[in-house]
Amino acid sequence: MEKKQSQASKQQTVSSKSEKGQSLTAQLGIYKSVISQSDTQVYEAIRAALTEARTSVVVAANTAMVGVYWKIGRQISEAIGERAEYGRGLMAYLSERLTVEFGKGFTVVNLRNMRQFYQVFPNRYALRSELSWSHYRLLMRIEEPKQREFYLSESADLGWTSRQLERQINSFYYKRLLATQKEKRPEIAGEVFKLEPKTDADYLLKDPYVLEFLDLRENAKYSESELEQGLIDRLQEFLLELGKGFSFVARQKRITTEHGEHYYIDLVFYNYILKCFVVIDLKAGKLTYQDVGQIDFYVRLFDETVKSDDDNPTIGIVLVTDKDESIAKYSVLANNEKLFASKYRLYLPTEEELRLELQYERERIERELDDRGDTE
């Protein structure tokens, strides 16, 4: 009897909440029809305040993280000195204890990176507060001090994101700039903002290093815009429908190099007929040789870190889309080209099929977003 009364009470509560929700929805619908300019100004003021607060949190988190990692690097360096054997034992001990208490950001690899950070940048006061740990991890890999200082200054002064810095380093921006006539240098300097547009102001809150430092969970959808989200949704359905033997594995699949660097692959499938992984990277803008190199890198990294001995070599697909055209290109490492031509192509959609699907879906999603914007 009591159980029945309890169930009836729950149903009544749910019904009450539902009616309340419908009432609020109706009120909002009525209000939207009479929104004035002053209402929009109130929204914009609140939005600006939230954006400023989020940016402050990001800056504070990164400043604290970079500062403490420099201190950790100094303490480890001073403790180890020239004693390499002792250093290996100390790293393992620190990693085990720090991970238990502070989370997964303190692997042996990460601790080595902190030590290297101190060794490359021994003057703490020369560090730039505008730069994140992701920036410094990239800068540490540049051996030539003059180049490293150049990229550091440009990143801080021009407000490059870590992705923009990575693109500039990989495209030999420093050398290209020196080889370019002065009057044409602004054009070279501005290309990164077209090829690798800046992300939202709160992007660094989604940086895996920041999340590790704050001991927060990652959200795979953080790095996807609405257009990218829609395209990835449809591409996932398309491959499962058209491709033979495809099984979905993951979205925004995180893979980590032996040096502790994180990369995210937009879509990962496994083809149980071909017995191989298929990794897909979606890019906005024009196709560049860096994009082709990136998918080749993902294929190689996936083979090294994920593929088992029983699996065939991984296949990569880079999909590039902008308003003018879409491009689909397969990536197969040189020693696997015969296997791809003789067997893989029988079970995979063609590059043209992928290109047409990508272009069609982009246009459809953009129309939907435009229509939604007109009604809001």
Give the pLDDT confidence score for residue 83 in this predicted structure.
Answer: 83
Instruction: Express as a percent the part of the chain with pLDDT over 70.
Output: 68
CA atoms within 13 Å, Cβ hemisphere of 26: 6
> How much is the CA Rg of the chain, to the nearest whole Å?
25
DSSP 3-state percent helix, strand, coil across the chain (nearest 5): 65, 10, 25
63 and 24 inside one domain? no
89 and 235 inside one domain? no
207 and 106 inside one domain? yes
- 341/346 Cα distance (integer angstroms): 8
Which segments of the chain have a pLDDT < 50? 1-21, 24, 200-202, 220-224, 373
For the whole model, what pTM was predicted? 0.52
The token pair at 57 is 């949190």
282 and 358 inside one domain? yes
168 and 238 inside one domain? no
45 and 23 inside one domain? no
Give domain status of residue 218, yes or no. Answer: no
Give the pLDDT confidence score for residue 224 in this predicted structure.
Answer: 41
The DSSP letter of residue 143 is: -
Are the beta carbons of 328 and 355 closer than 8 angstroms?
A: yes
11 and 46 inside one domain? no
Of 262, 185, 170, which Cα lies nearest the Cα of 222? 262
- 139/121 Cα distance (integer angstroms): 10
**Residue bearing tokens 């490059």:** 160
Give domain status of residue 220, yes or no. Answer: no
The DSSP letter of residue 239 is: H
Of 329, 254, 242, which Cα lies nearest the Cα of 315? 329
84 and 201 inside one domain? yes
Angle subtended by helix axes 185-195 and 162-170, to nearest 10: 120
CATH of the domain at 348: 3.40.1350
Give domain status of residue 165, yes or no. Answer: yes
Give the pLDDT confidence score for residue 201 in this predicted structure.
Answer: 40
Per the structure, the count of domains in the chain is: 3
Give the pLDDT confidence score for residue 11 in this predicted structure.
Answer: 45
Q: How far apart are the first and last CA of the chain?
A: 49
The token pair at 347 is 């079970």
Residue 276: enclosing H or E segment and its boundaries? strand 276-284
Give the pLDDT confidence score for residue 237 in this predicted structure.
Answer: 75
Q: Please, is 140 exposed, middle or buried when counting C-beta atoms within 10 Å of its C-beta (0-12, 13-18, 19+)?
A: middle
Tens of pLDDT, residue by residue over 124-166, are 988 998 898 889 998 998 989 999 999 999 999 888 888 788 8
Are the beta carbons of 340 and 332 closer than 8 angstroms?
A: yes
The token pair at 3 is 């159980």
Q: What is the DSSP code string of 112-133? A: HHHHHHHHH---GGGS-TT--H
Give the pLDDT confidence score for residue 199 in this predicted structure.
Answer: 53
Give domain status of residue 217, yes or no. Answer: no
Give the pLDDT confidence score for residue 69 in this predicted structure.
Answer: 93
Give the pLDDT confidence score for residue 5 in this predicted structure.
Answer: 46
Give the pLDDT confidence score for residue 192 in this predicted structure.
Answer: 58
80 and 7 inside one domain? no
Are the beta carbons of 239 and 349 closer than 8 angstroms?
A: yes
Q: What is the DSSP code string of 284-332? A: ESS--HHHHHHHHHHHHHHHHHT--TTSPPPEEEEEEE-SS-EEEEEE-
322: left (phi over 0), alpha (psi -120 to 50) or beta: beta
Are the beta carbons of 51 and 201 closer than 8 angstroms?
A: yes
Tens of pLDDT, residue by residue over 184-201, are 667 666 665 566 556 544
Q: Which domain holds residue 144?
A: 41-211
Give domain status of residue 216, yes or no. Answer: no
Q: Please, is 202 exposed, middle or buried when counting C-beta atoms within 10 Å of its C-beta (0-12, 13-18, 19+)?
A: middle
- 254/345 Cα distance (integer angstroms): 27
370 and 256 inside one domain? yes
Give the pLDDT confidence score for residue 70 in this predicted structure.
Answer: 95
